[in-house]
Amino acid sequence: MKKTAFLNIAKRLNGELHIVPLLYGSLGLEQRLHADLHADDIDILVPEVFLGEKWHDLASVMEEGGYVLYDLHEHAFERSGLCAAFASFESLTPFAGIDLSGIPVIEEAGVRYYLLDLRDYRNVYAASLQDGYRKNVKNKNDRQKLRLIDRALAEEAARRQDETKKGKDTGPLSLSSRRKRE
């Protein structure tokens, strides 16, 4: 349900404002981990200009989609109990050291959006542990997410290592062809 809502929002942002948003927070991490993390809301990053001088354009798109602004400071909207909040895409670099140019673009159901890779998510949640609000309110959840990310990264590394080993045995210079050369 939340993912579908995000895709609907992203489709409107793509079409009406020419924004390729970034699916962030727990919902984005759910997609990377292929696991249900029980995301509370939809966190979306957009170019900073849409939180400032072009805020009215973004707010209009959300309101036309049936969302109601409930927290201007957090750029947060609600529709039927579902919350979607916006933050600055550019804030990722100073906050977590993310290289914005390296974030992959996903194309799904005719919608384009960015999605951090697991290493970037690790940087985000590690930085979040230092954030005052998150440290006091979300510390346990952030630590759990870091453990899940670390486990997934370790599994990914092991899988790559296994593939490399298999590649050496089945590659162009296999064991049988090495014996022939000797």
**53-74 burial by CB neighbour count: b if 16+ within 10 A, else e?**
eeeeebbebbeebebeeeeeee
pLDDT at residue 180 in the model: 40
User: Looking at the domain assignment, is residue 154 inside a domain?
Assistant: no
**Has residue 130 been placed in a domain?**
no
**What is the per-residue pLDDT for 133?**
54
Q: Could you tell me the CATH number of the domain that includes residue 20?
A: 3.30.460
Q: What does the alpha-carbon distance between residue 130 and residue 133 come to, in Å, rounded to a whole number?
A: 9
Both structure tokens of 36: 């249900």
Domain that holds residue 93: 2-117
pLDDT of residue 140: 57
Q: How many independent structural domains does the chain possess?
A: 1
pLDDT at res. 30 = 94
Q: Is residue 167 part of a domain?
A: no
Count the neighbouring beta carbons within 10 Å of the beta carbon of residue 7. 16
Measured between alpha carbons, how far apart are the two ends of the chain, in Å? 61
Q: Residue 129: what pLDDT?
A: 83
Q: What is the pLDDT along the chain (182 residues), one digit of tens a residue?
A: 899 999 999 999 999 999 999 999 999 999 999 999 989 899 999 999 999 999 999 999 999 999 999 999 999 999 999 999 999 999 999 999 999 999 999 999 999 999 999 999 999 999 988 865 555 555 458 888 999 999 999 998 888 888 888 775 444 443 433 334 34
Q: Does any domain span residue 131?
A: no
| pLDDT at residue 136, as a whole number | 54
Q: What pLDDT does 13 receive?
A: 98
Closest C-alpha to 152, from 23, 28, 32: 32
Phi–psi pair at 46, nearest 5 degrees: -135, 165
The DSSP letter of residue 97 is -
Q: Which of 17, 7, 19 is nearest to 47 (CA)?
A: 19
Does the model's pTM come out above 0.95? no
